[in-house]
Amino acid sequence: MTKELWINLPVKDLEKSKSFFAALGFSFHPRHENSKEMAGLVIGEKNMLIMLFPEATFQTFTQNELADTKRGTEVLFSIDAESREEVDELVGKVIDAGGTVFSEPREHGPGMYGAGFADLDGHRWNVLYMEMRLISTE
């Protein structure tokens, strides 16, 4: 059975994308540190990988046109934060690194606080702090 999941994501400029995510505090898998064709963006405590590929390389895998992120959303990556302050801090880093905030930090109902941003290639990300004791499961 499947043991891992890799998410592959096209980027216009691999080095700029690596710099952007590094500025947000993310790390990269050392296996690809010297590669000009890919980078493994490490997400979370379980070290899930989002593989960043130059668009031309990505297209050789998909054999399909790339989504135009200026016209539509192909995916929304959701990541957690440990506090409201961490949400706010990440949004500040996104702005400083050249990303775009499309949803300012705000309440999303009882116990949920979050924001949305787009990376340099227009891929959309959602960062949420969830105070589980306040969230109703009914």
What whole-number distance in Å separates Cα of residue 10 and Cα of residue 28? 16
Q: What are the CA-CA distances from residue 57 to residues 67, 69, 74, 122 (Å)?
A: 15, 18, 18, 18
Going along the chain from its start, the domains and CATH numbers come out as: 1-65 (3.10.180.10), 67-138 (3.10.180.10)
Please give the average per-residue pLDDT across 18-25, as a whole number: 97
What whole-number distance in Å separates Cα of residue 65 and Cα of residue 35? 24
Sequence letter at residue 119: D
What whole-number distance in Å separates Cα of residue 132 and Cα of residue 43? 21
pLDDT tens per residue across span 28-64: 999 988 899 999 999 988 889 999 999 999 999 998 8
pTM, two decimals, is 0.89
Q: What is the pLDDT of residue 101?
A: 98
pLDDT tens per residue across span 106-135: 998 888 999 999 999 999 999 999 987 766
What whole-number distance in Å separates Cα of residue 114 and Cα of residue 31? 32
